[in-house]
Amino acid sequence: MRDRYVLIRPMCGLNDMFNQIDRCYRYCKEYGRTLVIDTQHCSFKDEFFEYFIPDDVNVKSFREWIGNGDHKGLSAFPKGVNVTSFNYRVQYVSDSGIFQTSDNKLIRFNPKPPSLSKLITMRLSRNGVFITFDFGRDYPQDILIHQACGGGAHGGRGFNLFMVNDHIRQKLWQRLQAIGGEFTAIHVRNTDLKTDYEGYFTEILPQIRKYPRIFLATDDRTVLDFFTSHGIDFHTFSKIISADGLPFHDKDFKGDIRLRNTEAILDALTLSAAENIIFTNTQWQKPSGFVRLAQGLKSLGYVQKLKSRPVAAP
């Protein structure tokens, strides 16, 4: 019996990425498939396995999978995808900006966002093909392809399927050593998602000043200026901070991709290592996906487990 696969191409931020990976991993376990991960084409824009080491041998890199020719001669769903190159074009559905979420529902964006990728060639449209499948049943095809954004509560569980590499671990220990002991973390998302951080944190500034050690994670430079102007002493480590309102995972990001991804992963891990995480909801009246990822990692004790794992052999 030949191998069967699910190719996951997650989109958008880290929490979306790991929720999608988790969902496909659970499907693979239920239906006896191998998970192939490709994060090079869209938001993450780099090889996933340059950052993460899987605990499960049935999780593979798309780059190596293609390089080894494991896909050759296999059938795929959805139909019409070129299984030689897996090149296709993804666009939002219809002029109203409808797009498919992780649970196969359609959501509307207003205004309509631009095309998600310039690299792929098959159109996803109202009359076209959704790049996904029904997670409630098996398929006769050898390869199932799922490409979607959409977060949720299982980002930490998806992250927990992997160990970060030694470089990220070393950087994390350096951060925690610099902080110097137990600490409180503050997270403010304020680029594509907005928060009333000034109103919220102005009210609790007296409480914040009592914390001996504070780590601040944000994607917006004005947030750093706000806390500095109010005399809050905090640690922050990321070198890449948005000054133009674009989120780090924006498809048009032009900076150092490897540094951006590494710092985002480190911020999530550092948040999760805090005694408590203080945040305010976005304009959607819910936490950002990034803080949900950090909370998931915290509840799983990921950093503590990381400390007990041996360093990988060179």
- Domain ranges within the chain, ordered by starting residue: 5-155, 165-308
> What is the pLDDT at residue 283?
67
Return the residue matching tokens 């001996």: 212
Tokens of 286: 């819910």
Q: Around Cβ 23, how many Cβ atoms within 10 Å?
A: 23
Q: How far is CA 130 from the centre of its chain?
A: 21
Q: Around Cβ 69, how many Cβ atoms within 10 Å?
A: 8
> What is the pLDDT at residue 311?
62
* pLDDT string in tens for the chain (314-residue length): 689 999 999 988 899 999 999 999 999 999 999 999 999 977 899 999 999 999 999 999 999 999 999 999 999 998 877 788 887 666 554 443 444 444 444 444 333 434 333 222 233 443 456 788 889 999 999 999 988 877 889 999 999 999 999 999 999 999 999 999 999 999 998 876 778 889 889 988 998 999 999 999 998 888 999 999 999 999 999 887 755 555 555 556 667 899 999 999 999 999 999 999 999 877 666 788 899 999 999 999 999 999 887 665 43
CATH 3.40.50.11350 fits 165-308, yes or no: yes
Q: How far is CA 100 from the centre of its chain?
A: 17
The interaxial angle of helices 257-272 and 166-179, nearest 10 deg, is 50
Distance in angstroms (rounded) separating the CA atoms of residues 141 and 148 = 20
Contacts made by residues 99-103, CB under 8 angstroms, sequence distance 24+: 99/149, 100/130, 100/132, 100/148, 101/148, 101/149, 101/150, 102/16, 102/19, 102/20, 102/23, 102/148, 102/149, 102/150, 102/151, 102/152, 103/150
What are the two backbone dihedrals, phi and then psi, of residue 187, each rounded to the nearest 5 degrees? -120, 130
